[in-house]
Amino acid sequence: MHKHSLAGWSNHRRAGRSGTAWCLSLLSAVALLVVSAACGSDDEGAPSLDAPAETAEELVNTYISLLAGNDVEGLEEFISDAFTIQRADGSTATKDAYLANIPEIGEFEITEVSAGQSGDALVTRWFLEVDEVIDRETWASTPAPRLSTFAWEGDGWKLLSHANFNAPEGDAAAGDPQGAGDTPLRVELGVVQSQVGAGAAYGQPAARGIELAVDEINAAGNLAITLDVLDDQSTVEGGQAAFTTLVDNGVTAIIGPTLTNGAVEAQTIAQENGVPVVSATTTGQGITDTGDYIFRVALTEEIVVPATIEFVSGQQPLDGIVLFLDSNDAFSRSSADAMRAGIAAVGGTVTNEIDLASAGDLSAALAELDGGAIDAFLVTPLVDESATILAALRDAGFEQTVIGGNSLNTLEIAELSGGAVEDAYVGAAWNPGVSAPGAQEFVEAYTSAYGSTPDQFAAQGYASVYILIDAITRAGGTDAGDLRDALAATTDLDTILGTLSMSEGRDALHAPVVQQYEDGRLVVVG
């Protein structure tokens, strides 16, 4: 076997990624590239190479040395902006996505470099033997073929494309979707959850639930999930920007965004690019109407709210109802629609509606109400506004029952409302007291990791990961179309939320729970 190498190469291989030998090798490669670059000019194009393999050898050594040194800045300069990589597992990446997650390699050896030049292109075939590649995959240690194309740009060669033809070790090479053995299947999971703004009360616990599930799955070793977590800042524009970034990064799927408001705008970007999306927290109308790549794990308001109202109607009359909404918010509008439908279903009547978008002074609006004709208040806005409404109701002396939408499913409202949420009813997809498979183990693990009891949003984030992984397993890999079809076929899956199936409209179906606030905590009552 004929081996091509730079001076000091054998010392580099023995030393791995440390020691002065590596520095000398890299500096030698860079120096040779500078010399070769000087042979051409912008006008003349690439120099005609008498020995293309020698130049190719220098370029390949530089590329791998930059990887070995984890030199992202050097790779940024060395790689063409038009770069594309084709991995052995069938996945691809552009320059930005590749630089965001470059492989970490141990000892390596480059052999059998051959090359051919055609104008400004230098096509190079070579073999790379590595002891280990730590990019969530273990690669075969025998020499494996590579194909790289270098393009002359300006006054030097840059890496334009690269293909890896070696198969991962273990059963994944034979088509095992779980990557059993030495080669875990890589999953690039994008997450868009609000960390600031109106959605933070929901997005923060959801992100923690997602992180916990990923840690558990990665620890099992069959899959290797990489998280790319972005903050949508609770805005439409923030969600669109985050989804665009993740799609450009080539993620396998996206969990998000947090709020119904802006969800369609963000998810349209994924739909148009064929990237599966699982919504963990949005409960408003029309979310999955965006397209066949959009799925929802959160129970819709149309399921949860009527069930809650039906339960309360068995405890008391619901004839005179006051509904609070914010018509500027998509979630509140959707929740209000579900409230109206739920009240109509039990024979009640919404006698007054107070829209925060146009009501002006809330105290004045409350002063106009006839307390003797009111059986309950329905509250649909997001948490901050709902807290203000609840406090104002109690301050005005109203003691009637409160029924809340999904926005009241965060314990933060107990503090924000000054305790005014006490005794309020709210339906949910989940409660820490449920007995679904794995639910109590999740509560213990979450509490241990984050020092607080998980809420519904944490549970839905956690469950979303496992639902995605179940679909990837049944799909036999991460192909977007196959994953979409597998998600749509989800039926009777045991989750911490309960036994879950996807509807024809790609919404999760499982039994809701009815809760009531007692001493600032949500207690299951139905």
Q: Which residue has the higher pLDDT, 108 or 157?
A: 157
How confident is the model at residue 89, as a pLDDT? Answer: 67
Q: What is the pLDDT of residue 216?
A: 95
Peptide bond before residue 257 is cis, with ω within 30 degrees of 0 = yes
Are residues 295 and 440 both part of a single domain?
yes
Query: Is position 485 within any domain?
Result: yes
pLDDT at residue 35 is higher than 50 = no
CB hemisphere CA count around 8 (13 angstroms) = 16
Which distant-in-sequence residues (6+ apart) come within 8 Å of 379 by Cβ?
324, 386, 389, 390, 402, 403, 404, 405, 408, 424
Nearest Cα residue to 63 out of 81, 71, 100, 94: 71
pLDDT at 178 over 80: no
Give a yes or no: residue 175 inside a domain.
no
Segment 463-501, tens digit of pLDDT: 999 999 999 999 999 999 999 999 999 999 999 999 999
Q: Are 225 and 209 in contact (CB under 8 A)?
A: no
Closest CA to 346 of 375, 370, 369: 375
* Structural domain containing residue 492: 185-299+434-508
Same-domain pairing of 125 and 85: yes
- What average pLDDT does this structure show over 80-106? 83
Q: Do 292 and 438 fall within a single domain?
A: yes
The pLDDT, as a whole number, for residue 131 is: 53
> Across residues 437-441, what is the average pLDDT?
94
Measured between alpha carbons, how far is residue 517 from residues 274, 417, 426 in Å?
42, 12, 8
| 102-116, 241-255, 315-329, 442-456: the lowest-pLDDT one | 102-116
- Using the predicted structure, report yes or no on whether residue 154 has a pLDDT greater than 60: yes
> Averaged over 259-272, what is the pLDDT?
95
Are the C-beta atoms of residues 424 and 404 closer than 8 Å to each other? yes
Residues 469 and 487 in one domain: yes
Angle between helices 301-313 and 330-345 (to 10 degrees): 40
Are 315 and 290 in the same domain? no
252, 310: one domain: no
State whether 291 and 310 are in the same domain: no
Least Cα distance to 323 among 312, 311, 337 occurs for: 337
Share of the chain above pLDDT 90, in %: 67
**Average pLDDT rounded to a whole number, residues 9-15:** 28
Q: Look at residue 170 and tell me if it is in a domain.
A: no
Structure-token pair, residue 143: 């020499």
Q: Which residue has the tokens 């005609």?
A: 48
> Residue 166 has what pLDDT?
60
Give 281-286's long-range contacts (Cβ < 8 A, gap of 24+): 281/193, 281/202, 281/203, 281/206, 281/457, 281/460, 281/461, 282/257, 282/258, 282/331, 283/331, 283/334, 283/335, 283/405, 283/406, 284/260, 284/330, 284/331, 284/333, 284/334, 284/335, 285/334, 285/337, 286/334
Which segment of 33-37, 107-111, 470-474 scores lowest on mean pLDDT? 33-37
Query: 517 in a domain, yes or no?
Result: no
How far apart are the two ends of the chain, measured CA to CA in Å? 74
Give every CB contact of residue 10 below 8 A, 6+ residues apart in sequence. none
Is residue 113 classed as helix, strand or coil in its secondary structure?
A: strand
What pLDDT is stored for residue 112 in this prediction? 84
* Residues 286 and 315 grouped into a single domain: no
CATH of the domain at 193: 3.40.50.2300
Residue 10 pLDDT: 26
Per the domain annotation, does 177 fall within a domain? Answer: no
Cα 138 to Cα 134: distance, rounded to the nearest angstrom: 7
Our count of domains for the chain comes to: 3
Quick one: 347 and 422 in the same domain? yes
Average pLDDT, the chain: 85
- For residue 182, the one-letter residue type is D
What Rg value do the Cα atoms of the chain yield, rounded? 29
Rounded Cα–Cα distance for residues 212 and 25 (Å)? 42
* Strands of the sheet with 376-379, listed across from one edge: 349-355, 320-325, 376-379, 401-404, 425-428, 513-518, 521-524
In a shared domain, residues 119 and 143: yes
Q: Are residues 214 and 73 in the same domain?
A: no
Distance CA 249, CA 93 (A): 7
Q: What angle do CA 469, 471, 474 make, to 5 degrees?
A: 110
Closest CA to 185 of 198, 200, 205, 171: 171
Tell whether the model's pLDDT for residue 19 goes beyond 50. no
Is residue 22 scored above 80 in pLDDT?
no
Asked if the model's pLDDT at residue 11 lies above 50, the reply is no
The predicted structure's pLDDT at residue 526: 84
- Residue 162, Cα to own-chain centre: how many angstroms? 27
Three-class SS of residue 44? coil
Q: Which of the given ranges, 86-90, 347-351, 405-409, has the highest pLDDT on average? A: 347-351
For the cut 90, the answer to whether the pLDDT of residue 244 exceeds it is yes
The answer to whether residue 5 scores a pLDDT higher than 60 is no
Give the per-residue pLDDT at 183.
67
Contact 301, 507 (CB under 8 A): no
40 has pLDDT over 80: no
What residues pair up with 518 in beta bridges, in sequence order? Answer: 521
Residue 93 placed within a domain: yes
Beta bridge pairs of residue 229: 191
Judgement on whether residues 69 and 117 belong to the same structural domain of the protein: yes
More confident residue, 497 or 141: 497
Lowest mean pLDDT among 91-105, 394-408, 504-518: 91-105
- Cβ proximity of 290 and 269 under 8 Å: no
Q: What angle do CA 443, 338, 384 make, to 5 degrees?
A: 60
- Please give the average per-residue pLDDT across 186-212, as a whole number: 96
Q: Rounded to 5 degrees, what are φ and ψ at 419?
A: 85, 0
Which residue in this structure is represented by tokens 């809330």?
A: 362
What is the tens place of the pLDDT at every residue in 204-225?
A: 999 999 999 999 999 988 889 9
Give me the mean pLDDT over the 446-455 stretch.
96
Q: Does residue 268 register a pLDDT over 80? A: yes
SS3 per-residue string spanning 282-310: CCCCCHHHHCCCEEECCCCHHHHHHHHHH
pLDDT for 415 beyond 90: yes
Q: Per the domain annotation, does 169 fall within a domain?
A: no
162/36: higher pLDDT: 162
- pLDDT greater than 60 at residue 136: no
Tokens of 187: 């999953």
- Report yes or no on 180 lying in a domain: no
pLDDT at 285: 86
pLDDT for the residue numbered 360: 82
